Structure 1
Amino acid sequence: MSYEAMDAINTIKVMNTVKAVSTERLAGRYSYLEREGLLPLPVQGGVTLVVELRHAQWSAECLRLLLQHSGSSVRLIAVPMTAEFPLQPLSEQFSGEPSLVFLPFAAGNYRVNEALAYAETSFVVLLEDTVMVSPGWLGNLLWPPIDDPVVGVVAPRSSSEWGEGLERLHFAGYSELSAYVAHTLDKRQGEWSYADVLGGACLLMARDVLLRVGGFDSSLVDRRLIIADWCLRARMQGASLALSDPVYVHVLHPLEEGAAENNASNAAASEGEQAYRRKWNLQGSPAAAGPLQIPVDLSGCLPQPSIPLGRHTADTPLVTTVVYFEENWTAADSRERQQTLQEGQSYSNIRWVWVRDSWSQSFPEFPVHERDAVITVHGEKPWLHALENISALYGSEVVVYLSASAAYDSRYIEKLVEILQHSRADIVVSSDFAADEPGQRPETGGITQLLPLERIAHRSGITPGKLMKREGFLRSLALIPDPDLSVGYAGELAGGRDKIQPSAHGGEGHL
């Protein structure tokens, strides 16, 4: 047999093998979707998209395309990256969009990590507002982690990606871009490859990997280094990186960007480059302006610590959160409610104080953390007295009162703290209760005479007023504020006025 014939036979074998692998892969994908009931988006619970806002001329179109082509189960969090970004007009354009929220710029706080901390979905995508997406981009980007669960980070092809993912293309308009993407999705369906590093404008992360690796290191300044550094840390945590062949996202580039950035932030970028090289033991390698440098062997690098998501507790005011049980909760119900409240709040720097009336001589087990406390009394008067004097017992900047029987949004405490930080009010009350009790909210300049304690927060170091029982409510409490204190309103914060009741026979509590 000739060499030419042998080569032809080998080529056919390779083609058949590739076809078999592809068919097997696609069959596995369909079985997964059918089993989990996830068609057409291959992920349960949706996806969180965190968008970095830098370019006002493109950000609105970027957000519009993301909302249009990412499916109904996505949530968008947009984060301005500079103080000069015109956030208000942009937010007004999307004021009626419930799945999109904005985090205002905060000097000295890298709010990308904070936005990532809010993500509760299985997958999170971090992308710049220069990214233009088209139909099918997200669903196809999610396939590699399903094909191989070790894959925890995926990037599409784009003009800002590194290595094999780099693809510089030009289109006359969006219709031409969409046509190209549709063609490549059909031509390269199901294909992806492993990567050593990723550094482009769009990055998909599995949330479990994000929680292990932590946030992004903003001290590296240059975004390509920040992304590459995080990817290397993900690899050190055992995650694989992947490049999706079918998915292409178009990245816009300002004509003036190069010169402006070089002149404005040369020194900072140089410091970031040096920090990156020190971090990954690249000092002995010549600095290259082109390809991104990465260590050949990660085992020779020092383990990198996890960077906390959100704000560091040292920069976050300490909050004393007082939880009072106004009904006869069993020990099992109390422990369940304690865990739900503690794990359900996004705010990180909390001292929890649990105030309970035992209603009997028993003292059920109630586990707490080291700096937290449980105050158990017997009888209504001692219970009220303990609540009135709670703020004098524990040093903190803010005191928040929660009822064990009320429902709260996951960012409830965080929002109240932010309002107290940026207002002159001594007491803040979540005004969602006004819908049920319209007579309680005052006119402008008035003083509320009766406030539900379960919706109150106040500055520490003050006595907010006098507590009393609310008529018509079983052991539900109200605050009569001190007339010398100013009262502010926080709008809709609670996320619902549902009541949580203890079980009648010691079983599980329910909403």
Structure 2
Amino acid sequence: MSYEAMNAWNTETDGSAAQAVRNERLAGRYSYLEREGLLPLPVQGGITLVVELRHAGWSAECLRLLLQHSGPSVRLIAVPVTADFPLQSLSEQFAGEPGLLFLPFTGDHYRVNEALAFAETSFVVLLEDCVMVSPGWLGNLLWPPVDDPAVGVVAPYSASERGEGQQRRHFAGYGELSAYAGHLRDNRQADWSAQEVLSGSCLLIARELLLRVGGLDASLGGRRLIIADWCLRARQSGAKLALSAPVYVHVLHPLEAGAVNSAGSRARSEEEQAYLRKWNLPEGSDGGDTRLVPADLAACPAQPFIPLGLDSAAGMLVTAVVYFEENWTAADSRERQQSLQASQSYGNIRWVWVRDSWSQSFPEFPVQERDAVITVHGEQPWLHALENISALYSGEIVVYLSASAAYDSQYVGSMAEILQHSRADIIVSSVYAADEPGQRAETDGYPGALPLERTAHRSGITPGRIVRREGSLRSLVLAPDPALSVGYTGGLAEKPGPARPAAFSGEGEEG
């Protein structure tokens, strides 16, 4: 292979200004390494590589190259994404390999997110088993976050990347591939550029960003769209995306890739339509590749957090605060108490029932030792008690539940996991989360009021004022303390509500 053309390209595109930027970056890198004691590698605690297994004919070679060229501090997690992948035969080829973990396929949830949750290293690389790497690939992917800490996602050049990062190459063998990749590394050191979106087969992600943004949205179906969606969500959280010019990875393609049946075309079309709807993008008119980036990402409403799938919240004590806004009979309220407790699958819940004895008929609930019933007299003390649960009971998370609402069996556990991985102090779930923040209602002078029945917050804080919204049956809202951050999450849609209490007559609605 001739390198004269590549050298000419480098000379033409490498102006003095660009060279000055690269020199500054290289100097900054050395200073960073010297200061942190990290020479010669720019990372502490190793790297986790999550490999999506789709191609049985390529996966073994992909894993061998990753183990050979990624360094001793790398851990691999391999995850089949189809039910028919021959995992047993592949795992037998790597028996005794201490740095490689296989997660079996399960159809009930997206195990790629679970594999990402297993990662406890500072960075995670998500890649497909059609990716072939060469010496030095990983170290060069790690540099952009050192140059600019705002960079949380980095991709190499490859055939599967779009736009500037797309390079389609053919090689006679692995030696030729390795030589080409080495040539790029030598001639493009410290060269990277910010991107609007990334969607290729290989992606390096800062774990801190992963925990903040959440998992991949598997409902979009197509991997390219799933990755692009996650990158846009990362940008919404303030992270930068980078394309690393010194790194090229080779992506294998099946020879029959051009043969597409009509059913596959329809499936892809449906996936693209789901992506376009999610990001409010117009339908493409040319029938070609859909545009992946909204014209004004800042104007798009915040997308919901998606749990990574690992039950990392298990063991946390959650205080579930149940309140009754309607006039229930003693029998109805006892039945509702029992059904709420039985419906939640999360195992570490302290139930706290807050009642106003002046307007609500309550039985003496049979509660467990750590549970509690708080009885107050009058609406204002009742609201004050709801606001100050954290001051009364220890725990890690407070979740508010209305007796008049219905919740999925995973609701409390999901809220706990989401809040654990979020930077927000308060989170709001369900369809309300999809509303544009600027459209949220103002209640009696309290801007940005949140529906209490869909709200949770960290323990140890007073979340704000709880007030009644007039003219609404389920009327309690939280006016959050302006000093606290609020996050929004979907995927916890409300079920049809329980039957309204037989004795309800509109009483107890006065403010």
Spell out, residue by residue over 1:287-320, the C-alpha distance to the aligned partner (whole angstroms, 9 max, x if none): 642364321111222210111101579xx99999
Q: Given the alignment of the two structures, is residue 274 of structure 1 paired with residue 273 of structure 2, yes or no? A: yes
Evaluate the alpha carbon distance shift between residue 187 and residue 369 of structure 1 in structure 2; reply closer, same or farther with a 3 A threshold: closer
Evaluate the alpha carbon distance shift between residue 96 and residue 128 of structure 1 in structure 2; reply closer, same or farther with a 3 A threshold: same
Q: Given the alignment of the two structures, is residue 368 of structure 1 paired with residue 395 of structure 2, yes or no? A: yes
Q: Given the alignment of the two structures, is residue 351 of structure 1 paired with residue 348 of structure 2, yes or no? A: yes
Q: For 2:176 and 2:234, locate their aligned partners in 1 and report how far apart those are by CA, in whole Å.
A: 36
Number of aligned residue pairs: 326
**8 Å Cα contact 2:272-2:290 kept in structure 1:** no
**8 Å Cα contact 2:316-2:395 kept in structure 1:** no
> Which amino acid counterpart does residue 244 of structure 2 have in structure 1?
S
> Which amino acid counterpart does residue 85 of structure 2 have in structure 1?
F
**8 Å Cα contact 1:33-1:42 kept in structure 2:** yes
Evaluate the alpha carbon distance shift between residue 318 and residue 38 of structure 1 in structure 2; reply closer, same or farther with a 3 A threshold: closer
Q: For 1:318 and 1:82, locate their aligned partners in 2 and report how far apart those are by CA, in whole Å.
A: 32
**8 Å Cα contact 1:124-1:204 kept in structure 2:** yes
Q: 1:246 — aligned with what? A: 246
**8 Å Cα contact 1:319-1:350 kept in structure 2:** no
State the 1:58 CA deviation: 0.4
Evaluate the alpha carbon distance shift between residue 219 and residue 20 of structure 1 in structure 2; reply closer, same or farther with a 3 A threshold: same
Spell out, residue by residue over 1:203-239, the C-alpha distance to the aligned partner (whole angstroms, 9 max, x if none): 1111111111111111111111111111111111111
Map 1:270-309; keep pairs closer than 5 Å.
270-283=269-282, 285-286=284-285, 288-290=287-289, 292-309=291-308
Aligned to 1:154, what secondary structure does the other structure show?
A: strand
Q: 1:113 — aligned with what? A: 113
State the 1:257 CA deviation: 3.4
**8 Å Cα contact 1:78-1:101 kept in structure 2:** yes
Q: 2:389 — aligned with what? A: none
Map 1:89-488; keep pairs closer than 5 Å.
89-259=89-259, 262-283=261-282, 285-286=284-285, 288-290=287-289, 292-310=291-309, 349-351=346-348, 367-369=394-396
Spell out, residue by residue over 1:229-265, the C-alpha distance to the aligned partner (whole angstroms, 9 max, x if none): 11111111111111000100000001123425x4553
Evaluate the alpha carbon distance shift between residue 288 and residue 227 of structure 1 in structure 2; reply closer, same or farther with a 3 A threshold: farther
Spell out, residue by residue over 1:377-401, the C-alpha distance to the aligned partner (whole angstroms, 9 max, x if none): xxxxxxxxxxxxxxxxxxx99xxxx
Q: 1:67 — aligned with what? A: 67
Q: 2:472 — aligned with what? A: none
**8 Å Cα contact 2:279-2:300 kept in structure 1:** yes
Q: For 2:94 and 2:394, locate their aligned partners in 1 and report how far apart those are by CA, in whole Å.
A: 45
Evaluate the alpha carbon distance shift between residue 72 and residue 259 of structure 1 in structure 2; reply closer, same or farther with a 3 A threshold: same
Q: Which runs of 4+ in 1 moved over 6 A?
A: 316-320
**8 Å Cα contact 1:152-1:239 kept in structure 2:** yes
Spell out, residue by residue over 1:171-203, the C-alpha distance to the aligned partner (whole angstroms, 9 max, x if none): 000000011111110011110011111111001
**8 Å Cα contact 1:123-1:207 kept in structure 2:** yes
Q: 1:464 — aligned with what? A: none
Evaluate the alpha carbon distance shift between residue 217 and residue 74 of structure 1 in structure 2; reply closer, same or farther with a 3 A threshold: same
Evaluate the alpha carbon distance shift between residue 34 and residue 103 of structure 1 in structure 2; reply closer, same or farther with a 3 A threshold: same
Evaluate the alpha carbon distance shift between residue 349 and residue 251 of structure 1 in structure 2; reply closer, same or farther with a 3 A threshold: farther
**8 Å Cα contact 1:132-1:250 kept in structure 2:** yes
* Identical aligned residues as a percent: 67
State the 1:156 CA deviation: 0.2
Map 1:75-90; keep pairs closer than 5 Å.
75-90=75-90
State which drifts further: 294-303 or 124-133: 294-303
Q: 1:54 — aligned with what? A: 54
Aligned to 1:24, what secondary structure does the other structure show?
A: helix
Q: 1:469 — aligned with what? A: none
State the 1:366 CA deviation: 9.7
> Which amino acid counterpart does residue 275 of structure 1 have in structure 2?
A
Spell out, residue by residue over 1:95-152, the C-alpha distance to the aligned partner (whole angstroms, 9 max, x if none): 1111110110001311000100111111111000000000000000111111011111
Q: For 1:191 and 1:165, locate their aligned partners in 2 and report how far apart those are by CA, in whole Å.
A: 13
Q: For 1:89 and 1:106, locate their aligned partners in 2 and report how far apart those are by CA, in whole Å.
A: 17
Q: For 1:169 and 1:265, locate their aligned partners in 2 and report how far apart those are by CA, in whole Å.
A: 26
**8 Å Cα contact 2:197-2:292 kept in structure 1:** no
**8 Å Cα contact 2:161-2:199 kept in structure 1:** yes
Q: For 1:108 and 1:244, locate their aligned partners in 2 and report how far apart those are by CA, in whole Å.
A: 36
If the length of structure 1 is used for normalisation, what is the TM-score? 0.59
Q: For 1:109 and 1:258, locate their aligned partners in 2 and report how far apart those are by CA, in whole Å.
A: 30
State the 1:284 CA deviation: 5.4
Q: For 2:315 and 2:394, locate their aligned partners in 1 and report how far apart those are by CA, in whole Å.
A: 21
Evaluate the alpha carbon distance shift between residue 284 and residue 312 of structure 1 in structure 2; reply closer, same or farther with a 3 A threshold: farther
Gaps of 5+ in 1: 1-10, 321-347, 356-364, 373-395, 398-511
Task: Give the superposed CA RMSD.
Answer: 3.2
Aligned to 1:45, what secondary structure does the other structure show?
A: coil
Evaluate the alpha carbon distance shift between residue 185 and residue 318 of structure 1 in structure 2; reply closer, same or farther with a 3 A threshold: closer
Q: For 1:80 and 1:284, locate their aligned partners in 2 and report how far apart those are by CA, in whole Å.
A: 32
**8 Å Cα contact 1:109-1:311 kept in structure 2:** no
Evaluate the alpha carbon distance shift between residue 22 and residue 283 of structure 1 in structure 2; reply closer, same or farther with a 3 A threshold: closer
**8 Å Cα contact 2:117-2:310 kept in structure 1:** no
Q: For 2:349 and 2:268, locate their aligned partners in 1 and report how far apart those are by CA, in whole Å.
A: 42
If the length of structure 2 is used for normalisation, what is the TM-score? 0.59
Evaluate the alpha carbon distance shift between residue 286 and residue 87 of structure 1 in structure 2; reply closer, same or farther with a 3 A threshold: same
Q: For 1:166 and 1:369, locate their aligned partners in 2 and report how far apart those are by CA, in whole Å.
A: 46
State the 1:60 CA deviation: 0.3
> Which amino acid counterpart does residue 20 of structure 1 have in structure 2?
A
Q: For 2:42 and 2:314, locate their aligned partners in 1 and report how far apart those are by CA, in whole Å.
A: 40
**8 Å Cα contact 1:162-1:292 kept in structure 2:** no
Aligned to 1:57, what secondary structure does the other structure show?
A: coil
State the 1:21 CA deviation: 2.4
